Chains A and B, each alone.
Chain A
Amino acid sequence: QKEVEQDPGPLSVPEGAIVSLNCTYSNSAFQYFMWYRQYSRKGPELLMYTYSSGNKEDGRFTAQVDKSSKYISLFIRDSQPSDSATYLCAMRLSGNTGKLIFGQGTTLQVKP
């Protein structure tokens, strides 16, 4: 069983829809939770970053962390065709900045 589980999709939604992306994890010691966006043939870029439990909002994006359930989510409001990409959740332990454990990534397509 992988440390981080993420449904690879693909997920196809119409423009303007609310998108919900999720990951579950098994290691309760994870402290930092991230969402990366990866466009085709590009490197991952950090989208959202959350420490411990709670919510974080940035424009159309909201990240949620529920440590008691070992579950993290990314919500995209008013989705746009430009949001079409692969979304990777990632997490790490406290004090170990670089060793990110990634989910498999969910491929999202937003149709105009």
Chain B
Amino acid sequence: DTAVSQTPKYLVTQMGNDKSIKCEQNLGHDTMYWYKQDSKKFLKIMFSYNNKELIINETVPNRFSPKSPDKAHLNLHINSLELGDSAVYFCASSQEGRADSEAFFGQGTRLTVV
């Protein structure tokens, strides 16, 4: 039973298009995140939502807009895709307020912009 699931797993699209990635977690966590992993495997946080409220926004271009309809879902919409957006995007979740809270990651969405 998948804990954090993302769709789609692979996404190939042309420059200038708009695309969305969906994420769902069934762990009952109250906090969800989007991370970006570049071609050198460097993983960096983009956004964090706690109970549908935006908590972290790490200087990400305005073309990226996260949306959390409820605490189990966090979607990422990207407008006007650019070549540099090609990366693997990971969704993660954790339970805020627990000192030993662990972040669980999804399998990733490999985005290729051509």
Q: Name A's B-contacting residues (CB within 8 A).
A: 8, 32, 36, 38, 41-46, 49, 51, 86, 88, 94, 97-102, 104-105, 107
Q: Which of A44, A49, A100 contacts B45 (CB 8 A)?
A: A100
Whether the pair B43, A105 counts as a contact (CB closer than 8 A) is yes
CB neighbours of B41 from chain A (8 A): 8, 38, 86, 88, 104-105, 107
Q: How far is the CA of A28 from the CA of B55 in the complex (A)?
A: 23
- Across the interface, name the chain B residue whose C-beta is closest to A42: B107
Q: Which of B42, B48, B99 contacts A99 (CB 8 A)?
A: B48
Whether the pair B43, A102 counts as a contact (CB closer than 8 A) is yes
Minimum Cβ distance to chain A for residue B67 (Å): 18
Whether the pair A98, B99 counts as a contact (CB closer than 8 A) is no
Q: How far is the CA of A53 from the CA of B70 in the complex (A)?
A: 37
Q: How far is the CA of A102 from the CA of B100 in the complex (A)?
A: 17
Interface residues in B69-114 by Cβ distance below 8 A to A read: 90, 92, 94-108, 110
Q: Name B's A-contacting residues (CB within 8 A).
A: 4, 31, 33, 40-45, 48, 55-56, 90, 92, 94-108, 110
Q: How far is the CA of A98 from the CA of B99 in the complex (A)?
A: 11
- Across the interface, name the chain B residue whose C-beta is closest to A100: B103
Q: Which 3 A-B pairs have the closest CB atoms?
A: A43-B105, A97-B101, A102-B43
Minimum Cβ distance to chain B for residue A100 (Å): 6
Q: A42-B108, A43-B90 are in contact. Are A97 and B40 (CB under 8 A)?
A: no
* Number of A-B contacts defined by CB within 8 Å: 69
Q: 7 A-B Cβ contacts within 8 A?
A: A43-B106, A44-B43, A44-B105, A98-B55, A98-B56, A98-B96, A98-B103
Question: B31, B41, B55, B94 — which one has the most chain A CB atoms within 10 A of its CB?
Answer: B41
Q: How far is the CA of A104 from the CA of B86 in the complex (A)?
A: 18
CB neighbours of B33 from chain A (8 A): 98
Q: How far is the CA of A38 from the CA of B100 in the complex (A)?
A: 21
CB neighbours of B95 from chain A (8 A): 97
Q: How far is the CA of A112 from the CA of B104 in the complex (A)?
A: 30
